[in-house]
Amino acid sequence: MPYTPHPFARFIAILGRGRNLSRALTLDEAEEAMTMILENNVLPEQLGAFLMLLRVKEESPAELAGFVHAVRKSLPPPLDVRPAIDWSSYAGKKRQLPWFLLAALCLAQNGHSVFMHGFDGHTAGRLYTGDVLRSLGLAPAKNIVEAARDLASRNFAYMDLADISPPLARMMGFKKILGLRSPVHTLARMINPFAAPSFLQGIFHPNYMTTHRDAALLLGEKNMAVFRGEGGEIERRPGKPCETLGILDGVAFEERWPPLMEEPRQLPDESMELSRLVSVWRNETQDAYAEAAIVGTLAIALRTMGLAPDMQMAQRRAEEFWRARDTARLLAA
């Protein structure tokens, strides 16, 4: 009986033929491979080999764009509600509180809707967005319909990846098995389920900035920004310059935002007390680091959304937004 290779085997062969013969997948090949994965048309051994070969090589912009195409096709079509910005949150925090949440909530309270998505608990010892939102009384949405309702009623919604794409969430969980992150950690940040016209990316390893930006160009995105955020989240580090790559009105750009504080390296927050998020929002606690992180992050969001022509104006508008917040509540009802 003639030997017939599994249809997915060719993708592993492309990546794993060795130093001189292996190559990256084309965008179309990557889309086809990810479609087979999402439809569960691969064997477990193949999936592990595929993800780890990509991990060693590092995913190319074309591969990432192809993967995103496949995921977006697998999701339900976006409903009528369209958020102003997509905000991914997959890293978790362990050194500082998630001040970026207050930036996102401030943006929402000022009339610009935010859809946030993440995956809780994939790495031990970190504070994840879904858990923090629950502690603040902001329950995550369980499906796209609930998320659309939250966007319409309060300009903010959060969903866990497990409720957006169970196959992607399952693969995110492989880190505990394989001991390494896979390209899915990069991919999940870019899925933009509601097709928001702008989106932000936070990364930890600076070499992924170009990958994110160039993949977004291949996807035809018009407005996005990626930078190395605190702990890998979309959060400005106030004491350091912030190198940002992105796209504005379909044109690639690069900016270097100056430090916001002249302080030495920020020490880790030993307590990570969530009540401080609320007390800073309410102006009950003065925290220069927190406010600089919040306003600085908000400024990059405003710049990415095309709501400020340059960094200086974005910073001023962010300060105005922060001062104008309703300190009595985190979100408008």
Give residue-wise pLDDT tens across range 51-77: 999 999 999 999 999 999 999 999 988
Residue 235 has pLDDT above 80, yes or no: yes
Boundaries of domain holding 59:
9-74
In a domain, 4, yes or no: no
| pLDDT score for 99 | 98
What would the mean pLDDT of 66-92 be, rounded to a whole number? 93
Pick the last residue of a domain from 20, 53, 74: 74
Residue 233 CA to residue 227 CA, distance in Å, equals: 9
Could you tell me if 127 and 275 lie in one domain?
yes
pTM tops 0.75, yes or no: yes
In a domain, 224, yes or no: yes
Could you tell me if 68 and 168 lie in one domain?
no
Lowest mean pLDDT among 112-116, 156-160, 162-166, 262-266: 262-266
What would the mean pLDDT of 38-60 be, rounded to a whole number? 95
Contact 218, 65 (CB under 8 A): yes
In a domain, 329, yes or no: no
Residue 283 has pLDDT above 60, yes or no: yes
Residue 248 has pLDDT above 90, yes or no: yes
Give residue-wise pLDDT tens across range 310-321: 999 999 999 999
Q: For residue 18, what pLDDT band results from cuts at 50, 70 and 90?
A: confident
What would the mean pLDDT of 182-208 be, rounded to a whole number? 94
In a domain, 332, yes or no: no
Q: What's the CATH number where 112 sits?
A: 3.40.1030.10
Pick the last residue of a domain from 74, 102, 127: 74
What share of the chain has pLDDT > 70, as a percent?
98
Could you tell me if 122 and 36 lie in one domain?
no
Give Cα separations from 312 to 255, 299, 305 (angstroms): 12, 9, 15
Could you tell me if 247 and 315 lie in one domain?
yes
DSSP 55-119: HHH---HHHHHHHHHHHHHHSPPP-S---SEEEEE-S-BSSS--THHHHHHHHHHTT--EEEEE-
Pick the last residue of a domain from 17, 52, 74: 74
For the chain, helix (H) and strand (E) counts, in that order, are 15, 7
Which among 303, 306, 327 has a CA at the least distance from the CA of 315? 303
Angle at 214 between CA 42 and CA 115, to 5 degrees: 75
| pLDDT score for 276 | 95
Contact 249, 306 (CB under 8 A): yes
Greater pLDDT, 23 or 266: 23
Q: What's the CATH number where 69 sits?
A: 1.20.970.10
Give Cα separations from 307 to 36, 99, 198, 285 (angstroms): 40, 21, 11, 29
91: alpha, beta or left? (left if phi > 0; alpha if psi -120 to 50) = alpha
Could you tell me if 40 and 114 lie in one domain?
no
